[in-house]
Homo-oligomer: A and B are copies of this chain.
Amino acid sequence: MDENKPFDIVHRSLNKNVLIALKDGRFLRGKLIGYDTELNLSLEDAELFSDEIKKKLGVVVIRKNNVLSFTEEDTL
């Protein structure tokens, strides 16, 4: 189990494309280029989207308390 703890999965996802589900129902997609121990995340080529909108955000820092879930796109 150890290698599947939440932070192991985040660490394994570095330099990969990830999909972030936000608490408000929207999603962020981009390449994970950094994180810290509070689970603040850094993405590159990030895009904020929902059914209706799509907005490019470039290099982006996401504050931890907005994140519902985190997923590596390779596993989709």
Interface residues of A (CB under 8 A from B): 1-10, 14-15, 19, 21-25, 28, 33-36, 39-42, 44, 46, 48, 56-76
Contact = CB atoms under 8 A, between A and B. Distances in A.
A71 B63 CA distance: 12
A68 B3 CA distance: 25
Contacts of A63: 39, 64-65, 67-70
A4 B33 contact: yes
28 contacts: A1-B15, A1-B33, A4-B33, A4-B42, A5-B34, A5-B35, A5-B42, A6-B62, A9-B34, A9-B59, A21-B57, A28-B69, A39-B63, A46-B69, A46-B71, A48-B69, A57-B76, A58-B72, A58-B75, A59-B71, A60-B70, A61-B70, A61-B71, A62-B68, A62-B69, A63-B69, A63-B70, A66-B68
